[in-house]
């Protein structure tokens, strides 16, 4: 299966572990935003990474200090706020519109070792194969999105939540990743 920003390469979508979790707005996310409405100015997109709440069980949010609020990162195109909480990829199955009513997000939780291709990755030209990736706030190349999303970038802090490792670089902001979640994997 493939979306605009994400493609599941192997072993295939039907073998993945998924779960629909409740969505909680991020700390800087306006109450007027409906992330489930594709016509909203800040909808969730396939391949965006959501963090588990550190205080409320089975809830996720966009996370990060910037979340999806009106502000952008401190400088356009600069990634910030490396994720420390477990984070998983949002993926909407084609034809499922129940999320708008239930306010639940469809998350891919595993298994360990599945491979996906993502275009929501910062600094891929400078990221070599086997680089550990974590989740960051990013507003797109040179601020092109006009909003902050949670995307992948090279790990900086050894204590951060590692999502996986780069197995192939296709081009700028376009990589193939092996999902190997955990905190503090060796660089």
Higher pLDDT, 65 or 71: 65
58 belongs to a structural domain: yes
Bridging pattern class, strands 87-90 and 132-138: unpaired
Average pLDDT of the residues of the chain = 82
Give percent of the chain above pLDDT 90: 30
Tally the domains of the chain.
1
pLDDT of 115 over the 90 cut: yes
Q: DSSP string spanning 135-187?
A: EEEE--GGGTTSS-EEEEEE---TTSEEEEEEEEEEETTEEEEEEEEEES---
The pTM is what?
Answer: 0.86
Buried/exposed code over 155-176 (b: 16+ C-beta within 10 A; e: otherwise): beeeebbbbbbbeebeeebbbb
Q: Strands of 6-10's sheet, edge to edge? A: 6-10, 115-118, 174-183, 161-171, 132-138, 149-154
* Distance in angstroms (rounded) separating the CA atoms of residues 170 and 97: 32
pLDDT of 60 over the 60 cut: yes
Query: Which of 3-12, 72-81, 165-174 has the weakest average pLDDT?
Result: 72-81
Confidence of residue 65 (pLDDT cuts 50, 70, 90): low
1 belongs to a structural domain: no
Q: Tokens in use for 45? A: 């997109």
State which residues form the domain around 143: 6-183
């Amino acid at each position: 299966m493939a979306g605009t920003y994400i493609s599941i390469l192997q072993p295939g979508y039907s073998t993945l572990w998924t779960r629909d979790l409740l969505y909680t707005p991020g700390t800087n996310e306006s109450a007027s935003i409906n992330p489930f409405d594709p016509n909203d100015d800040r909808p969730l997109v396939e391949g965006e990474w959501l963090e588990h709440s550190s205080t409320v069980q089975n809830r996720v949010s966009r996370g990060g200090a910037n979340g999806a609020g009106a502000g952008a990162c401190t400088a356009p195109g600069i990634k910030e706020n490396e994720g420390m909480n477990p984070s998983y990829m949002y993926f909407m199955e084609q034809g499922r519109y129940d999320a708008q009513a239930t306010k639940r997000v469809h998350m891919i939780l595993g298994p360990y070792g599945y491979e996906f291709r993502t275009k929501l990755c910062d600094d891929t030209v400078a990221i070599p194969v086997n680089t550990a990736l974590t989740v960051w706030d990013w507003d797109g190349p040179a601020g092109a999105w006009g909003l902050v999303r949670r995307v992948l970038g090279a790990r900086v802090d050894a204590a951060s939540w590692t999502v996986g490792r780069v197995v192939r670089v296709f081009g700028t902001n376009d990589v193939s990743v092996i999902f190997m979640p955990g905190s503090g994997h060796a660089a």
